[in-house]
Amino acid sequence: MTSERNSAWTLVLSYSYGNVSNFRKSLIESFSVDVDNPNWNHYRLPRKKMKTVMEISTHWRITCSFPVFGVDYIDYLRASFIDFDPLGFHTSGDGVCKKVEVINIRNYNCKNCTALFKQEKLIEPLHYYDYEKLCYFGGMIDRNLNKNEYFGKYEIKRVDPLFRCTSGPKQTTNMWFGGYV
């Protein structure tokens, strides 16, 4: 209740970079992990429960290594469900520009802007795709890395070692549903 002022959040998904291979499912798919034993390294609510939490929420966010850093808005993503529903979002190909309230990757950031996201059932989980300047925020993190993927889908050849979610095997990606009171 104190991670962000005047807000309340429910953890719906959390996994360590070392466990990423167990979390290749999209949010469109029904899939749950350790529901009765919530933990930072290996946890996902079933889709039906996520939808229930979403119905009483206004926003969703992703943090990196929350147990270590809390919310300091570095390597952080937040969007409203009105602008971007991650449980209903499906795309193929190059992705879709979606409005976010805040996105920060390694201190590159923007507020109330669009960013490129992808999520495809049976193929890939929700993630931000920093490939080209197709949306307002994009193609700017590190041109030495090839087609970087953040906040979800992590493939070894596209991992940014300076991004808090992927800087080591124990670093975590944490998705929350909630809102402001």
Cα–Cα dist 57/54, whole Å? 5
For the chain, domain boundaries: 7-180
Q: Is the pLDDT of residue 144 over 60?
A: no
Comparing 30-39, 64-73, 110-119, 139-148, which segment has the lowest mean pLDDT?
139-148
pLDDT value at residue 31: 87
The number of residues in the chain equals 181
Q: Is the pLDDT of residue 1 over 70?
A: no
**Higher per-residue confidence, 12 vs 124:** 12
pTM for this entry: 0.92
- The 10s digit of each residue's pLDDT in 77-91 is 999 999 999 999 998
Q: Is the pLDDT of residue 174 over 80?
A: yes
pLDDT value at residue 102: 96
